[in-house]
Amino acid sequence: AALCLAVSSYGQSGNGKQPISQPLVSHIYTADPSAHVFKGRIYIYPSHDIDAAVKEDDDGGHFAMRDYHILSLKKVGGKVKDHGVALDIQDIPWAGRQLWAPDATYKDGMYYLYFPVKDKQDVFRIGVATSKKPQGPFKAEPEPIKGAYSIDPTVFKDDDGSFYLYFGGIWGGQLQRWNNNQYDPKGALRKGNETAVLPRVAKLSADLKSFTEEVKEVKILDKDGKLFLESNNDKRFFEAAWMHKYNGKYYFSYSTGDTHNLCYAIGDNPYGPFTYQGIVLKPVQGWTNHHSIVEHQGKWYLFYHDVQLSGKTHLRNVKVTELKYNPDGTIQTIDAYK
Ligand code: FUB
């Protein structure tokens, strides 16, 4: 995430609203929960927030995380287990600082953890690490994934066995510096009347460690078929991509960042285009909003975070609540505070 503004008052008991869910763990701060069901158990791949005493800046420098802890639970409402350190920044040969939001997948007896971290030149890149166990420990590949950049990787397995990596985040996530897949350190944020920066996708190779194709932009369209402008910042992509499939349709969800919504758009294939539908989760306590959507035992769940435990935007706690669809396939908007 980028800019850290004052923590919003959404959901504070002071305004008469109460959270609909409680933090899943409270012994550590966790955020950006990517949840998956592996062998019937829910595994959550979150960021591990720490207070690194880094001064707040517009690029999210105070989100200075250094390792990952994987959480797991038998079912929603059950006991949550912290499996300890799964990957440490010091064991990623190319890493500089800021281990941000990860995601994971499984193929042929191996688990793959995708993670963004700044390299030693302070450019965000995406790496992959492997383990025989869903909870790790994971071993990082010696180099970042060739052609991958920016932050917030999310991996999606389609029904035909193909895997896709979606990624990107503007502002502190540096996506505005990548045009035509080339890095421009001076790449600026778009102006209000310019087309908003788009998230990216590429199909993964059979070993899930590289791309089989050039990275493409993911088009998110309004109901008139037009791309959003930067001034549509209550709907345009900022960061935190997630892909899931429901009734044969592809649901691309994401955070609008500086307007703090979690939105979604629906498409007919993994590349899109995706047509904007509405809000999944209204703004939560804290600046960032980041989630995953997963089915378990016949129900759909939204994993998300807020800052209920700390009141500080960089010290978050993961939560879960049920997600419901309308008969037409649209998602019922969730307000995390009632
Ligand atoms: O956790 C660091 C960053 O904050 C993530 O990469 C963003 O999505 C935001 O949640």
pLDDT tens, position by position, 150-209: 999 999 999 999 999 999 999 999 999 999 999 999 999 999 999 999 999 999 999 999
Short-list 333, 319, 315, 321, CA closest to 262: 333
pLDDT of residue 10: 33
Choice among 49, 103, 152, 239 that is catalytic: 239
Distance from residue 275's CA to the centre of ligand 1 (Å): 24
Q: What is the mean pLDDT of residues 284-299?
A: 98
pLDDT of residue 15: 62
Distance from residue 328's CA to the centre of ligand 1 (Å): 31
Q: What is the mean pLDDT of residues 263-287?
A: 98
Tell me, what amino acid is at 51? D
Helices (H) and strands (E) in the chain, counts: 0, 23
Average pLDDT, the chain: 95
What burial class does residue 13 get, using C-beta atoms within 10 Å of its C-beta: 0-12 exposed, 13-18 middle, 19+ buried? exposed
The model's pLDDT over 310-328, given as tens digits with 9 standing for 90+, comes to 999 999 999 999 999 999 9
pLDDT band at 11 (very low <50, low <70, confident <90, very high): very low
Residue with tokens 């997600």, as numbered in its chain: 323
Tell me the whole-structure pTM to 2 decimals: 0.96
Contact 155, 112 (CB under 8 A): yes
DSSP state, residue 229: B
Per-residue tokens: 338:
């009632």
CB 316 less than 6 A from any atom of ligand 1? no
Q: What is the mean pLDDT of residues 121-149?
A: 98
Can you tell me the distance from the alpha carbon of 55 to that of 207, in angstroms, rounded to the nearest whole number?
Answer: 40
The better pLDDT of the pair 27, 3 is held by: 27
The model's pLDDT over 108-119, given as tens digits with 9 standing for 90+, comes to 999 999 999 999
Which of 290, 307, 319 for a ligand 1 pocket mutation test, highest count of atoms within 8 Å of Cβ?
Answer: 290
Does 283 have pLDDT greater than 60?
Answer: yes
pLDDT of residue 57: 87
Can you tell me the distance from the alpha carbon of 171 to that of 63, in angstroms, rounded to the nearest whole number?
Answer: 13
pLDDT band at 58 (very low <50, low <70, confident <90, very high): confident
Q: What is the mean pLDDT of residues 30-39?
A: 98
Does 16 have pLDDT greater than 80?
Answer: no
Cα-based angle 302, 70, 317 (whole degrees, multiple of 5): 50
Distance from residue 327's CA to the centre of ligand 1 (Å): 32
The better pLDDT of the pair 78, 4 is held by: 78
Q: What is the mean pLDDT of residues 57-77?
A: 96
Does 9 have pLDDT greater than 90?
Answer: no
